[in-house]
């Protein structure tokens, strides 16, 4: 009879298994976490700064808007005052300008004022 040990298959060899390796060393992971913490702190500070700047920009925007509105109101008031002034004494101003620019016959032959020391 055949020996049961001889007819059987040869013993299989166990494949060598390498131990799993870390993708990154532990110190690198700690470094990344520390840097992420620093970035998070800087991000919080940036959010606070932007909030303060938005308040300042809002204040400046309101100030510019008030100045612009004041200038528009001043233009309307000033034009109204000028129109009222012209309505009140515009005829006199027009007559004075016409008399100065276009003298009439009566003004041309009017006697000139006496000069001091001249005899008449």
Task: Give per-residue pLDDT as tens, 43-91.
Answer: 999 999 998 898 889 999 999 999 999 999 999 999 999 999 988 888 8
Tell me which of 25 and 40 has the higher pLDDT.
40
In a domain, 9, yes or no: no
In a domain, 17, yes or no: no
Sequence-distant (6+) residues with CB within 8 A of 99 are: 107
89 phi, psi to nearest 5 deg: -125, 20
Spatial distance between the Cα atoms of 74 and 108, rounded to a whole number of angstroms: 44
Spatial distance between the Cα atoms of 110 and 50, rounded to a whole number of angstroms: 79
Spatial distance between the Cα atoms of 96 and 89, rounded to a whole number of angstroms: 11
pTM score of the predicted model: 0.43
In a domain, 84, yes or no: yes
In a domain, 18, yes or no: no
The parent domain of residue 68 ranges over 26-103
In a domain, 3, yes or no: no
In a domain, 70, yes or no: yes
**CB burial string 50-62: b at 16+ within 10 A, e below:** eeeeeeeeeeeee
Residue pair 64/57 in contact by the 8 Å Cβ criterion: no
In a domain, 10, yes or no: no
Number of domains in the chain: 1
């Amino acid at each position: 009879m055949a020996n049961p040990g001889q007819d059987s298959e040869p013993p299989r060899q166990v494949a060598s298994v390498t131990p799993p390796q870390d993708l990154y060393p532990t110190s690198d992971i700690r470094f990344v976490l520390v840097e992420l913490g620093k970035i998070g702190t800087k991000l919080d500070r940036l959010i606070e700064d932007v909030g303060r700047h938005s308040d300042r920009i809002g204040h400046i925007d309101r100030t510019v808007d008030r100045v612009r509105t004041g200038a528009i109101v001043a233009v309307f008031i000033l034009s109204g005052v000028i129109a009222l002034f012209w309505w009140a004494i515009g005829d006199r101003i027009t007559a004075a300008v016409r008399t100065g620019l276009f003298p009439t016959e009566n003004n041309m032959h009017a006697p000139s004022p006496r000069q001091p020391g001249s005899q008449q």
